[in-house]
Each structure stands twice: as C-alpha cells, then as structure tokens.
Amino acid sequence: MGTDGQGREDWMGTRLDDFNDFRGRMNGRILGEDHPAIKRFFGVDTLTYHAGALDERTKEMLGLVSSMVLRCDDCVSYHILQCHRLGVSRAEMFDIFSVALTVGGSIVIPHLRRAVAVSDEVEENARRRSI
C-alpha cells in the first residue's frame, strides 16, 4: 500500500535490490537479538517451504497467493522472486494473480499492479544477465 505514485520509474529500477538489501540487514538485526521464540519462528518459516508431499515450487506458489490475498507487497515480491527462481512461468504467475484477485476482490488490484511491476523487473533482470 501507499507506494504508488512515488517515482515509479525509479522504484522499478532499484526496488528489488533495495528490498533485498533492507531485508537482509534487518533480518540480521532481528536474529542477532537472539529471542528464542522469534528465532524458532524464522526456522519454521524456512522449513514450511521445504519439499514435502508437495514440491518446493508448488509451496512457493501457495506462499505467493497467500501473500497477495493478505495484501503484503514485500511478501509478494519475495515469493515472486522465489517462484521465478523455481521456473514458474509468466502465464502461471498470472493464474496465481487471478485466484488472488477473485478470492480477495478489487482491493487486491493495487497490489496486483505492483506485483506485475516486480515480475517485469525480475524478467528484465534475467534477460540482462543472459545476454
């Protein structure tokens, strides 16, 4: 929420790097505090996406759709990165977005816009690296 209309071009170019940087730095601060329940929660969070009866790819898709209906832009960005890494195609991504939109309603649309912007950036980055 609320990031719309604040220098999009700029946001498009550097958002993922900044996001990953801030995410890494603050996760370090949080885990550095050594709080037992918080630390173990982070462990559960990691374990949840390990392959089980469902493979890692399907679990990341489940994480993405959950993040989208709960309207958490950072979580959406994170799971788009994971989905892309695990080979989820753009067409599959839009099927996930479609479930989130129908279940969560038009209130999801601003997050959908930002999710598409993130997908575009992820794909653009991948194209650049492959040249």
Looking at residues 17 to 56 of the shown chain, list those that interact with a second copy (rule: CB under 8 A): 17-23, 25-27, 29-30, 33, 35-38, 40-41, 43-45, 47-50, 52-54
Rounded to a whole number, what is the distance in angstroms from the first to the last CA of the chain? Answer: 34
Tokens of 92: 């599959």
> What is the chain's percent helix, strand, coil content, to nearest 5?
80, 0, 20
Nearer to a second copy by Cβ, of 72 and 86: the residue is 72
Residue 127 within binding range of a second copy, rule CB under 8 A: no
Nearer to a second copy by Cβ, of 9 and 128: the residue is 9
Query: In whole angstroms, how close is the CB of 100 to a second copy at the nearest point?
Result: 7
Give per-residue burial for 23-57: e unless 16+ CB within 10 Å, then b.
eeeeeeeeeeeeeeeeeeeeeeeeeebeeeeeeeb
Could you give the string, one character per residue 67-86, with x where binding to a second copy holds by CB under 8 A and - elsewhere? x-xxxxxxx-x---------
Q: Which of 80, 83, 120, 129 binds a second copy (CB under 8 A)?
A: 120
Q: Considering only residues 86 through 115, tell me which ones interact with a second copy, judged by CB under 8 A.
A: 89-92, 94-110, 112-114
Nearer to a second copy by Cβ, of 40 and 85: the residue is 40
Whether residue 122 contacts residue 84, with contact meaning beta carbons closer than 8 Å, is answered with yes
